[in-house]
Amino acid sequence: MALDLAIIGGTGLYQFPGLENVTRQSVETPYGATSAPVVRGELAGRPVAFLARHGEGHSVPPHRVNYRANVWALHSLGARRVIGVNAVGGIRADMGPRVVAIPDQIIDYTHGRYTSFCDVDGAEVKHVDFSEPYSAGLRAALLAAAASAGVAVVDGGCYGATQGPRLETRAEIARMRRDGCDLVGMTGMPEAALARELELDYACIALIANWGAGCGDEAEISLDEIFANLREATALVPRLVTALLQAD
């Protein structure tokens, strides 16, 4: 059975639980090395590929992820649907720690990253439509899978992508709130845009690890709390993806 679905794991998701018949594959790309070898296996009897965005030991910071190589590698292996799992902060009142969201919009605040496959000499220049940055069909399938698996998710929300690796100031989060952002993360872009250039169906599972600065009651964001919240939210991802595959 041909590969269809690939998952890019973010902070806290360096291996995908439940994969069977696992193999590891280093993929050469025109854009350099991927963050980690691609792990291929079966989930719910279906072939799945998994790639750890930050490397398997979280050695690659958000602004140095080779997004082009990662997305290209999954595409070259035959993936047509890609799910990006992202650890994020919550801004909107209903998007607190341990909530899972399936966002539908992005605002890009990053800088200095390679944002397009057009960024090489001789490449075709593509002006892709990015009005809706996440694929409607894959978003709908994820929402249906969540309902089937009994996983509570928030439908929609605007993901504000920041440069990292530092967390944001209160003033920056206040600006993002005024801009209409509901979530803040560091890896949502340019991953989504690169997937669109390759005509992949792409959607995000956003795992809320903490409140954005100034949005919760905490005077300071605790890394211990962030990772504890991530463990709780990350545990829901295999159930959600399994339900997605079982519905195909």
Residue positions forming the annotated binding site for phosphate: 11, 53-54, 187
Backbone angles phi, psi at 25, to 5 degrees: -140, 125
d(CA 18, CA 246): 14
Rg (CA), the chain: 17
d(CA 234, CA 158): 20
Binding residues for substrate: 186
Element housing 147 (H / E)? helix 136-149
Q: What share of the chain is helix, strand, coil (3-state, %, to 5)?
A: 25, 25, 50
Looking up tokens 């792409």 gives 202
Binding residues: 11, 53-54, 186-187
